[in-house]
Structure 1
Amino acid sequence: MAIDTTSSAQPTGLRDAKKQETRQLISDHATRLFITQGFERTTIAEIATAARVAKKTVTNYFPRKEDLALDHQDAFIASLAHTVADRRPGESALAALRRAFADATAAADPVAGFCGPAFARMIADSPTLSTCLRGLHDLREHALAQALATAVGAPQDDITVRTAAGLLGTVHRILFQRIQDLTLADRPNDEIAETVDTEASLAFDLLEPSLGHYAIV
């Protein structure tokens, strides 16, 4: 948490709003620098100077440099698990995930991979960010396994749970990369959405025989 220099009598809502403004300011300047000169070559000191804050303020809000670039990571990790936990009555885990992916694609959701050519290129050009992204995919699959285990009342290390999470996670990983590849090819979002929507249907269809009735509410 950043050092709060506001009065202790100041309303909590206002303090929180100012913290969020500072966090967004730092994130925006970091993204601009990462895209302009590359993630690896940009320093925390440069980001602090651009945002007109202390280096300590930057690291208070973003403990790791990667956190400045991938600031949707919490939502990304939790996305599949939340979809399974919130699935509709009578809906399988696969059906819920399939529906949620179609919605995310239609909305060009950044969490699904729609981030724009400059941002996608920044990630692709950075070994650090590419490695970090692979780790986020792993964490997302782990969270999905936890949600599936809860849904079917089985241990998380159950082979069926782990296999289901692996299959579902892999399809989402492949589709995410597909969106990134098409973005790097400078395809517009509407074209990417149309292409990936068709390909996602084919990918999810492959899982229907084994997972079509798995974890139905």
Structure 2
Amino acid sequence: MTDTPGLRERKKQRTRTAISEAAIALFLDRGFDRVSVAEIAEAAEVSKRTLFAYFPAKEDLVVHRFADHETEAARVVRARPPGTAPLDALRAHFLDALGRRDPFTGLNDSPAVRDLYRMLLATPALVARLGRFRTAAERGLAEALCETADASPLPARLAAAQLVAVHWVLTLDNAEALTAGQSADARHPAAREAAERAFALLARGLGDLS
């Protein structure tokens, strides 16, 4: 019996997840730079060829965990209620995510998330790879602003760059605080205050974006 498209996709997703989990377990145990692709493939029980089919670069094995968030800002802007400015929608979304301890805000102190951020912050190759992630997020957000906020390409790109950069600064500040030993609950008031200040500063420069 031939697999249906849906079943094939689920199998691919399970394989992708298994490879990523095996890789991250090794990275956290021994360090990103001390684990080879061959060792990851062996741990995940796949060939190197299969591994590279799912993850073209070693860094992608980690950044994959952020993949669902690459288009998050664009989705928030497109789904905002009528009459809501993009900046207001993104501000409300980030504050809500802080309250939910969303790992993408850096405000999550579960050991798995904390250790992942600790590795990210300590590994130059992963920091560099996150730069490509940010570029894709900026591009998607700029497109959403052009489509829904009547923004021309250059202002949309500049606004998107600022918005994505602020998100990452806030996230990494939270992650650094938690990897230094602070709890998410203790950090939350300062994280919320920092977010409010950051979005207020953005509002001064992006106030015309509606």
Interval of TM-score (by shorter of Structure 1 and Structure 2): 0.7 to 0.9
* Counterpart mapping for 1:6-45 below 5 A: 9-45=2-38
1:96-149 alpha-carbon deviations (Å, 9 max, x no partner)? 000110121122222333463211121122110011113322332232222212
Q: Structure 1 residue 93 and structure 2 residue 86: aligned?
A: yes
- What corresponds to 1:4 in structure 2? none
Aligned-residue identity in percent: 36
Distance 1:15 1:140, change over 3 A: closer
Q: Structure 1 stretches of 5 or more lacking a match?
A: 1-6
* Counterpart mapping for 1:56-205 below 5 A: 56-113=49-106, 114=108, 116-157=113-154, 160-205=155-200
Distance 1:194 1:48, change over 3 A: same
Q: Distance in 1 between matches of 2:196 and 2:122?
A: 30
- 8 Å Cα contact 2:142/2:157 also seen in 1: yes
Amino acid at match of 2:15: T
Between structures 1 and 2, the one with greater helix share: 2
Distance apart, 1:195 and its partner CA: 2.2
Distance 1:16 1:149, change over 3 A: closer
- 8 Å Cα contact 2:71/2:140 also seen in 1: yes
TM-score (norm 1): 0.85
Q: Considering only aligned residues, what root-mean-square deviation do their CA atoms show, in Å?
A: 2.0
Distance apart, 1:95 and its partner CA: 0.4
- 8 Å Cα contact 2:86/2:149 also seen in 1: no
1:26-77 alpha-carbon deviations (Å, 9 max, x no partner)? 1111010111111122111101111111111111111211111111343232
